[in-house]
Structures are given as C-alpha cells and as structure tokens.
Chains A and B, each alone.
Chain A
C-alpha cells in the first residue's frame, strides 16, 4: 500500500522502510510538533500513544519547549517505566474536525496503541464559519436570514450547533470504527476553559427594547460594581439579560463578577460558563475566543459514551484541583488565556490522561490517581516560562475584552514573565520598539535582536500583529517603572510614532492606533474571506479609544471627521461627541448623521509624556426607526452582509496635529 502523509509528515523510503519526515519549521515556528521523523511501531514496547488536538493540545505559547504531549510522555514514563511509553504528538494549532479525522486516519500507518483526542475549543469558530451575518457567500447569508427569521438571535446558534453535531458525529463514528477495527482504545479529553480571568464583553444585538437601555444598564452595573454594590450590579445585569435574552455574554460576566463579590463561587461559575456559552457563536459582529462551551463539552461527553471512548472530564478534574488549592474558579493558574494551559494546567490535565492510559495499559497493578501524578512532568525552562507569560499578555491584548481595564491582567503576565526570568526585560523593551516602529515588526532591529535571544517570540506569540498594543505597552511600562526603565520605554515610543509636524490620522485603516481590539473584530477589517474593508471606522461601543504618542510638550489640535447613526428623530440635529484624554474630559465636537469635520484643541497640560489614551465618547443611541433587526434580516435574505448590532458613530479620520502657534 502506498504510504500517505501523516499531517505534514511526508512519507519517504529509507533503507527499504517508510519514514515520515516533516519540513523544517520556519524561523517563526509553525503549528506542528517539532519531531522530525515518524516511524511505524515495530516492537511491543514502548506502548505508543498518539496524541491529537488543537492549539491547547499543541502547547500554544510554550511550544516547542513544553507541550502536553511531552508532559504526558514524561508522566507516563515516571509512573510506568522509562522504556514503556512513547507519545507521538500530532496536535496542531488551528485544527478542525476534518483535519483531526484525516490525521487520525493517517496515524494508523505508524501503529498507535492508544489514541488521545484533546479537541473542542475550536469548534465554535472553525467548524461553522458560514453561520455568520458576514458569511462570504450570498447563499450562506440567506440561510442566516432564515435562521434569524425562524428563531431570532437564537436561530443561528441552533443552526451552528446542529451543523457541528452532524460533523462531530460523523468524525467520531469513523474514528470509532477505525479504532475498533484495530482494537485500540480511544481517550477523549473534554476541555475546560478559563472562567475566572477571561471575559467576553460584546455589544448587544438589536433587540425589541432597543440597545440604548441595555447600554445604560451596563453603565449602571459597572458603576455599582465599582462602588462595591454587587446586588445593584446584578440587578442591572439581570435586566440586561431580559433585554438581550441571554444572547450577549456581557451581562453574564457582570453577574459573575457580582457573584464573586458576594462570595457565591458556584453562582459565579455558573454565570461565567453562561458567558462562555453566549460568546460561543459570533451571532454578533465579533469573533469570540476559541473556547469549549457547555454544548461542546456535552457533545464530547455524549459521543464518548456512545462509542465507548474513555473520557477525561477536565471541568471535573480542574474543579477538584482548584478546590484542593483553594481557588474559586479555574483561572490564571491553569490558563494563559481563554483556553491555553499554563505549565501547571498541562501537568494537571495530562496527569488525568496519564492515569487513564496507565490503567488501560495494564502494566501496573495499582495505577496511581491523577492527583499523585501532577507533580511529575518537565518544568519549562525559565526562558520558556517567561516567553509564554509574555505571549499570554500579548495574546490577551489582542483578544480580550473586559468589563473595565484589562491592564491588571496584562501586568500580571508581564510580572510573571519577569519573575520567571528577569532577562526578559530586554525583550519587553524590544517589543515596545517593534510595536511602535513604522514598519512590520519583522523588519525591525528589535525583532532581529529578539530572534537571537533566548526569549524568541514566534508567530503564536502574536509577533506578526502590527498594531500598537497600547494595553501591553501600558502594562510593560507599569512593571518596568520600578526598574527605572519608563524613560527608555517612552523614548522608544516617541522615536517613530509621535505626532509629526504634518499631523497624523489616528483612525486610518488598518487602525494601528486603536486602543482596543473590539473594532478590529469585524471580519472585513480582519480581511477575512477577501472582504472589502470600509474606508472608515465603525464604532460599536459607546466609547472608542486611540493611542496618542506625544512628548506632551506642546498643545495639539484634533480634527474629527465623523458621523452619527441616522434616525428620523435626530436626522438634522447636531449632537456632541465628548472627548477625553487619559480619562479627563477636554471638550466636545459637534456631529450629525452626515459626515462633518470639526476641531478641538488639546492643551499640553492634558497630555502625558509618551502614551496617551484619547477617547471619543459617543452620544446615546438615538431612537430607532422601524425594526433594525428585521432590516438586517432583509439584507441577509437578499444576499448582503449585515451588522446585527447598532453603531454609536463612524470615524473617517481623527487627525492630530501640533496646534498652530
């Protein structure tokens, strides 16, 4: 039989035998394990475990230095004998169910004894991307319209879940068939997600009550949390839920926060999980984070039962583990971000797998409990740990949307990086320099230094993102202040991106100076599916912030070209866009439903030296005309993409220049 590729490992004949060899990874790594060769198993021992899955299983942010497969192998050998086990790592970042099936199928060429499937976090994003109001084809948009028409905002969720079930059932059935045919067991790991530290703040979709009320309630809830009134916060959040029908994760996060404040850990966990579930499908404009919601976890449990697979339920394992260590919700000890595991998280998760595999192997009379195995397994080098922590900060800056500032979490990760290996301080400075350079990071001298350092940032660390990453820079500056390096950071920030004499447009695509990732999550802004991005910025939250880099030694002028959402009630009315710098109001700019341009001075007294946060505070949403959701459905039905949520304003340009003297 002709040998077929196994994932990216290509077959080749060596000395009459088939060897599968992978291409060399590039300078920024790739999505696959670095093991160069795969060979068919020839002897009874070591027992061969083939390990499959997505980025979590691939050790995202730690790989190739530390991976779950490597931890699993070390734990198996520690408990079951050095020569008795080997783990073949076939996990890959961005894995889909079709890819998983193809790799499992191909892996039988190297005779595995056990299959371990650790997947599910990608299923909300990668399996049904066509269920979106921005789907690339007219047919998919029409289908989306049908789903919305039938069940409102729950319709697309139902449609996506049904599709996912169909795909997953077929994939698991075939895996079961193959495994049965050769008589090997399959172990399924049900993934858990970060409930404590990951948040999914998203704007609400059009609703019958109208989003204006929802946003008022949001402000009320946040204010209540800030003054320590958790009951009031929860009350407001529950009213938000009544308005959005539970379709928006934001209210659930507010409730989770309130419950934590009230000391109700179970209630907080329930709300946080409901948040993950509500964020699982991008029925709104924004991509959620890869996370396995309840529906995915339950589907994995059901399919495991159906096919007699051995199941490891990480929600249960992690709950037990954090109970042991006195932590209320699974959070930063186990997770680097939404779903990727810390070294400790890997050890806990793989301990559970090890216990099952040892039991299946029959090699030990009294196989250990998973708790006994957690201490085993390789620790990352200080450099790898530091790099992963920094990667967590960068990654979170790119995807995390919190209620309130996320800088504290980013500071945690930057501090953790420095704690692990103080030598990474130079990399933090290089990151600031690369992020503020007038070119892609890869072209910078900072990147060249990093490539030669022990803290090499790879594609997985978000090195190729070319945005300013203001939150990360703020976090780094905060941490390195105690090292006396804030001046060094400011110098790098201002070297290339400070306001030039000719002025600079902070709102020009591709929105380098946007403070938050929110507005970048429109599929066309992300340049997905070859979609055309608009020439202006859509602002779907009541505030839109930009990073402004200036020495702070001169007055500036901002010139805003913007418009507000149309409404028959406010059509011709001029309303005010308030402007703040670093949280301090500096004035307002008139705007209407048509583009208009106005200026506002920024006195230098309002400016800090270095990074400043310039925020546009949009007027309240005007009363809606007709039924905007029905209008969106009508667009989708005619094959056109549609926003399912309101925008507060649109910015054509936000030009900042030195004030005329």
Chain B
C-alpha cells in the first residue's frame, strides 16, 4: 500500500511516501523550490517521492493531509483574521486534486495527531507517552497522549490562544528576530543572559494544574493578526522591542534566557504530569517546540522518562509523516513502523540522491577543475582531512538529502572543532549570521561518551548536553559549556563515519563541526547544482572546498569571475519568488 503524506499551506511544506508502513522517501518543498520555508503545496516533493518509490500517480492508494481544514477554519473565524476573500477550507483538497492531479481518496488528520503519530510511530517504542507542542494546529497548541501498538490516544490538550509556541515566538519577535525562523536564535542567545525576567515571564504564561497553562493575553496581539505582542509586553519588560539589525544588549540576552527557563520549567512540569497519567517509561515528542534542544536535554536528564524520541522533522514539515502513518493505521489496522524493521528511525536520509555518474556528468559539463576520487574513497577522505586540518571549511555532499531542519552528514558544512577562530569565521563569512550562534558537532557514536555527558545515541542533533571532552573544542562548545552533538553510527552513515574516523586518526579528535550546507537566506542545498551555486555564491571567504560525492573541488582553483557570473545569473533567476515564504512579523496563521 502506497500512502502519500502531505503538509502544506502553513510553514514548511513537505511530502513523504509510506509503502506498507515503511517510510520510503520524504522531503521539504523548500529544498526544491529554493524558497526558504516554502509553504506552498509540495508539488516537487510529491513528484520526487513517487520517483524515489519507483511508482506513478496511478499506484498511490491514498493521500493523507496533516490538518483538518474545517476545524482550522473555526479557529480562524473565531480569531477574525483578515483574509483575502472568504476563508476557504476547501483549498487544501482542491489544490491536491488540481495541482497534484490526485484522483483518489484524501484523508485529513488533525495537526497535532499528525505530529504525535510522526513521533510515536517513528520511535520504535511499543508504547510511549506522547507530547506535542507548537504554535497552533487547528485549535490545539499542546497535546498529551499515549501510543500503544497501532493506537494513539489523546489524554488532554491545551487550545489556542494559550500556546507555548506562540509565547516563544512572541518573545522572538520582541527580540527583533523573524518569527518561525529566529526561535533558534533566542535559544542560542539564552545562555549569555541571566534569568532576571522570570517574574515577567511568569506573568505572560501561568502554568495551571495538570495539563493546563494560560497566556495572559493582554501582552499579546497575535489573535487579531497584527503582530505577535502588544505594547504592554514592552511595558512589562521595561524596554522597547529590539528592531531588526539593532545591536544585541545584555537585556536582550536576559529576556532570551528568561523565556527559555520558563519554557523549560513548564515543559518539565507537564512532562511530569504526563508521566503520572500514563505510567509509561518512554516519551515521544514532536511539534515545533520539540526542536528546542535545550529543553529536550533537560526533559531527558531531569524528567521522569527513561527514553526520549524526538522526530527529526519535528516541525510542521514532519506532519506529513504522521498523517501518512495515521492513514496507514486507519486503512490496515496495523502499526506503521516507518523504518523497515519497525525500530526507531535511525536516519533522516529520505530525500533525493544523485548517482556518482550523474555527478560525474555534471562536473564534466561545468569543466571545473575537480579531482575525481571514484573508487578511491579513502584517498578522498584523506584529502578532505588535509583541508579540514588546514582550517578550511568543506561543503560535504553525499547520499540522500536529510529530511528536517538539521544537516546530518549528507548536506553539511564541515570544519575543525578545535579551531578557536572557526565559530566566528563560519558565522561571519560563511553563514553570515549572528556571532553568538553556536555550531553543533558530529561525533563518532563510539566516542561520544568521551566528549559529552551523553549515554545514548543522539543521531538527530535534538538535545543538548555538557561538553566533557579532554580536548579544547571552542567551535562547538557554547558559552554555558553545552553542545548539541550528533552521534554518527558507521552502520547508518558509513562514509561520514569514515571521514570522522580519518579525522580522528590524523588529529586524535573524532569530531567535526557540522552545520547545514546553505548560504545566508537559502534553504539547505538539495542538488549538486545547488551545492555548486552555493560554492560560487559564498564569496571569497566562504566555503573553501566542496565534496560532491566522489569529486573534490577547491574554491581557489575555480576560474576567475566565476562567482560573479553566478551571482549575476542567479539574482534575476530567483527574483520571481519571495526569498522567504513566511511573514517575518507574524506567526503564519492562514
């Protein structure tokens, strides 16, 4: 049975293909369209999934959609959000039929049910408590449940407008970062601050008994859709909101720290409640707030659950996995395992891949001076290590693209974590982002415990822990001594693991800085062409070398003016679409 899962029209849209309950392919639309956070119907991702599954549109049994539009409409009407024309709950199905050409059944599942299913069915846990937390779905903003076999039960929920996700987004906006994009920045900024606004934050959100919490709505303005926060928030914090581009002061850091602390407190409290309700030992989490890796780390360390599984595409893009899984369960009565053996998802390499022959053809067409390492993988890895140990930043393109927001060794920028100047260089010249933002490491799974307070695999970079390494690792150690490691299992990512091993042999350090392979404002690269464009566009001080499967290119060897030509071509090519599909001022409700 082939089930296509879709998430769309909200944040990052995505598509997946589930065959007999096993995840065959999945990808976000932004990776194809090159529009960051693209929320449009994932047409390209849909075609990719069918292609990857080796099927045509005639062999799909069902399309599963990750929301119930009519329910969402009731919330939209309640909010009175101004829209262009009449609210249209028929749009998702109409678009699925008209744009995808789909003629068969469309099943819709609640937003948080989709999140919950994506986490539980991907966890491999026979039974587990399930917590979903985000901005808002239809009405729910947080749900509590339990999964057993093929069944998912919802125990309780918190409804809009009371939302931990919207609380965090409101503070993100107040701090001058883009909503739905800058939440990571707030989390990264928090360790620089002191929690001196805890009282204020506790006025914004009051944790109630049991599952409940409430926002004090006088400090927010998102219901009417004008902006995230009201002027009263600034009064409460005793300062005007930061404007984008303004300097970041200690006050901003303290506000970030305070909201992070309050979020963690509430999550710990609710997780404790959920544990008491279910009596289960394992927890699954999904929803945008489940991407808060600092909170995840605390939940695992300080919470009552023994094990935690966070779905790698925990945000809205991953909703498609859950919707497809729910459709499978509904149509067969069986539990979808997502992975082939029904165990936990071990990797997120579910996107498009390019054969060595295709890459060789591309390289030949470009005429660029690339070194061909086909059938010489060990030499390729040594050449990469040469460059890393020289302090170079290497673009690493290998295998199938990752699903989810994290680069996990398929489309990564890699660097030496021991280099004291590397974090600044990556932030300033390559990623062109704020200096305070930390970078995450990849570490060989067998060596993880030697360098981090981590006693279990963390393949998706979804929790933080203390750095305990005997090595100085300034590029990946955050100001509070934490890091967000990815443990790399050679059985799952053999070439990437081999690279880490080669780096260790040369340096004694089995870690690398691993950040997503993209340049400022762009989604993570998907194709070899995207990678070449990023290499050219990253500027003179950007990416130093690029590994395209078995080929290695050094920026220094590129023809003169190559980057300028790409820039001149790329700007008019891409100017027809928005750089970012989401509003940067307001959580996207419609």
- The listed residue (A439, A509, A527) touching B365 by CB distance below 8 A is A439
- The listed residue (B51, B85, B565, B567) touching A451 by CB distance below 8 A is B565
A573-597 contacts to B (CB < 8 Å) = 594-597
A489-543 contacts to B (CB < 8 Å) = 495-496, 505, 508-509, 527-528, 530, 532-536
Closest to B85 in A: A138
Which 6 interchain pairs have the tightest Cβ spacing?
Answer: A445-B367, A26-B568, A437-B365, A442-B569, A138-B85, A27-B565
Q: How far is the CA of A533 from the CA of B100 in the complex (A)?
A: 9
| One of B41-49, B485-493, B517-525 contacting the partner | B41-49
Closest to B355 in A: A502
Q: How far is the CA of A505 from the CA of B47 in the complex (A)?
A: 11
B100/A534 in contact, CB under 8 A? yes
B564/A26 in contact, CB under 8 A? yes
Shortest beta-carbon distance from A439 to chain B in Å:
5
**Chain B positions within 8 Å of A459 at CB level:** 569, 572
Confirm or deny: A139 has a beta carbon within 8 angstroms of a beta carbon on chain B. yes
Q: How far is the CA of A534 from the CA of B94 in the complex (A)?
A: 12
A532/B101 in contact, CB under 8 A? no
A438/B365 in contact, CB under 8 A? yes
Confirm or deny: A448 has a beta carbon within 8 angstroms of a beta carbon on chain B. yes
A532/B47 in contact, CB under 8 A? no
* Given known A139-B84, A535-B43, A652-B57, contact A438–B101 (CB-CB < 8 A): no
B99/A534 in contact, CB under 8 A? yes
New A-B contacts (9) at CB < 8 Å, excluding given A535-B99, A639-B86: A27-B564, A28-B568, A442-B569, A442-B570, A509-B47, A527-B576, A561-B56, A561-B57, A595-B57
B362/A438 in contact, CB under 8 A? yes
**Chain B positions within 8 Å of A445 at CB level:** 365-368
**Chain B positions within 8 Å of A650 at CB level:** 101
B564/A653 in contact, CB under 8 A? no
**Chain A positions within 8 Å of B103 at CB level:** 594-595
A433-462 contacts to B (CB < 8 Å) = 433, 437-440, 442-445, 447-448, 451, 459
Closest to A563 in B: B101
Closest to A451 in B: B565
**Chain A positions within 8 Å of B559 at CB level:** 448
Shortest beta-carbon distance from B542 to chain A in Å:
17
Q: How far is the CA of A442 from the CA of B529 in the complex (A)?
A: 11
Q: How far is the CA of A240 from the CA of B101 in the complex (A)?
A: 32
A534/B43 in contact, CB under 8 A? yes
A448/B367 in contact, CB under 8 A? yes
- The listed residue (A442, A527, A534, A595) touching B577 by CB distance below 8 A is A527
* Given known A440-B569, A653-B56, contact A532–B40 (CB-CB < 8 A): yes
Confirm or deny: B532 has a beta carbon within 8 angstroms of a beta carbon on chain A. yes
A26/B57 in contact, CB under 8 A? no
B259-276 contacts to A (CB < 8 Å) = none
A464/B569 in contact, CB under 8 A? yes
Shortest beta-carbon distance from A218 to chain B in Å:
28
A–B pairs, 20, beta carbons within 8 Å: A27-B561, A139-B84, A139-B85, A442-B566, A442-B570, A443-B566, A444-B367, A445-B366, A451-B565, A495-B364, A527-B576, A530-B578, A532-B41, A533-B43, A533-B99, A535-B99, A535-B101, A536-B57, A561-B57, A597-B56
A596/B46 in contact, CB under 8 A? no
B56/A438 in contact, CB under 8 A? no
Q: How far is the CA of A440 from the CA of B565 in the complex (A)?
A: 12
A597/B58 in contact, CB under 8 A? yes
- The listed residue (B43, B101, B364, B564) touching A595 by CB distance below 8 A is B101
Q: How far is the CA of A457 from the CA of B361 in the complex (A)?
A: 24
Chain B's interface size range is 35 or more
Shortest beta-carbon distance from B4 to chain A in Å:
11
B336-372 contacts to A (CB < 8 Å) = 358, 361-362, 364-368
A639/B57 in contact, CB under 8 A? no
Confirm or deny: B573 has a beta carbon within 8 angstroms of a beta carbon on chain A. yes
A443/B43 in contact, CB under 8 A? no
Closest to A433 in B: B365
Confirm or deny: B98 has a beta carbon within 8 angstroms of a beta carbon on chain A. yes
Q: How far is the CA of A442 from the CA of B568 in the complex (A)?
A: 10
Closest to A533 in B: B43
Confirm or deny: A137 has a beta carbon within 8 angstroms of a beta carbon on chain B. yes
Shortest beta-carbon distance from B530 to chain A in Å:
10
Digitize B555-590: 1 where CB-to-A-CB distance is under 8 Å, 0 elsewhere: 000010110111111101100111000000000000
B58/A595 in contact, CB under 8 A? yes
B58/A561 in contact, CB under 8 A? yes
Q: How far is the CA of A380 from the CA of B47 in the complex (A)?
A: 48
Q: How far is the CA of A41 from the CA of B516 in the complex (A)?
A: 54
Confirm or deny: B95 has a beta carbon within 8 angstroms of a beta carbon on chain A. yes
Q: How far is the CA of A532 from the CA of B578 in the complex (A)?
A: 13
User: Contact residues of B with A, CB < 8 Å?
Assistant: 40-41, 43-44, 46-47, 51, 56-58, 84-86, 88, 94-95, 98-101, 103, 358, 361-362, 364-368, 529, 532-533, 559, 561-562, 564-570, 572-573, 576-578
- The listed residue (A444, A532, A594) touching B366 by CB distance below 8 A is A444
B365/A639 in contact, CB under 8 A? no
Shortest beta-carbon distance from A72 to chain B in Å:
28
Closest to B574 in A: A527
B85/A639 in contact, CB under 8 A? yes
Shortest beta-carbon distance from A28 to chain B in Å:
5
Digitize A2-44: 1 where CB-to-B-CB distance is under 8 Å, 0 elsewhere: 0000000000000000000000001110000000000000000
**Chain A positions within 8 Å of B576 at CB level:** 527-528, 530
**Chain B positions within 8 Å of A563 at CB level:** 101
Shortest beta-carbon distance from B17 to chain A in Å:
14
B367/A652 in contact, CB under 8 A? no
Closest to B354 in A: A438
Closest to B577 in A: A530
Shortest beta-carbon distance from A562 to chain B in Å:
10
A628-657 contacts to B (CB < 8 Å) = 639-640, 650, 652-653
Shortest beta-carbon distance from B483 to chain A in Å:
37
Closest to A508 in B: B47
Closest to A444 in B: B365
Q: How far is the CA of A508 from the CA of B56 in the complex (A)?
A: 12
Q: How far is the CA of A77 from the CA of B94 in the complex (A)?
A: 64
Q: How far is the CA of A423 from the CA of B100 in the complex (A)?
A: 47
Closest to B86 in A: A639
**Chain A positions within 8 Å of B533 at CB level:** 443
Shortest beta-carbon distance from B522 to chain A in Å:
15
B57/A532 in contact, CB under 8 A? no
Shortest beta-carbon distance from A398 to chain B in Å:
15
Q: How far is the CA of A451 from the CA of B562 in the complex (A)?
A: 10
B84/A137 in contact, CB under 8 A? yes
B99/A532 in contact, CB under 8 A? yes
Closest to B46 in A: A535
Q: How far is the CA of A533 from the CA of B41 in the complex (A)?
A: 9
Q: How far is the CA of A509 from the CA of B51 in the complex (A)?
A: 13
Best-buried of B43, B88, B533 by chain A (most CB within 10 Å)? B43
Shortest beta-carbon distance from B15 to chain A in Å:
10
Q: How far is the CA of A116 from the CA of B98 in the complex (A)?
A: 48
Shortest beta-carbon distance from A67 to chain B in Å:
21
**Chain B positions within 8 Å of A596 at CB level:** 58
Shortest beta-carbon distance from A119 to chain B in Å:
22
- The listed residue (A438, A448, A532, A536) touching B358 by CB distance below 8 A is A438
- The listed residue (B44, B361, B567) touching A26 by CB distance below 8 A is B567
Q: How far is the CA of A653 from the CA of B58 in the complex (A)?
A: 11
A439/B572 in contact, CB under 8 A? no
- The listed residue (A443, A448, A505, A652) touching B532 by CB distance below 8 A is A443
Q: How far is the CA of A561 from the CA of B50 in the complex (A)?
A: 13
Q: How far is the CA of A508 from the CA of B94 in the complex (A)?
A: 22
**Chain B positions within 8 Å of A27 at CB level:** 561, 564-565, 568
**Chain A positions within 8 Å of B361 at CB level:** 438, 495-496
Closest to A526 in B: B576
A439/B532 in contact, CB under 8 A? yes
Q: How far is the CA of A28 from the CA of B566 in the complex (A)?
A: 10
Closest to A448 in B: B559
Shortest beta-carbon distance from A24 to chain B in Å:
10
Shortest beta-carbon distance from A546 to chain B in Å:
17
**Chain B positions within 8 Å of A652 at CB level:** 56-57, 101
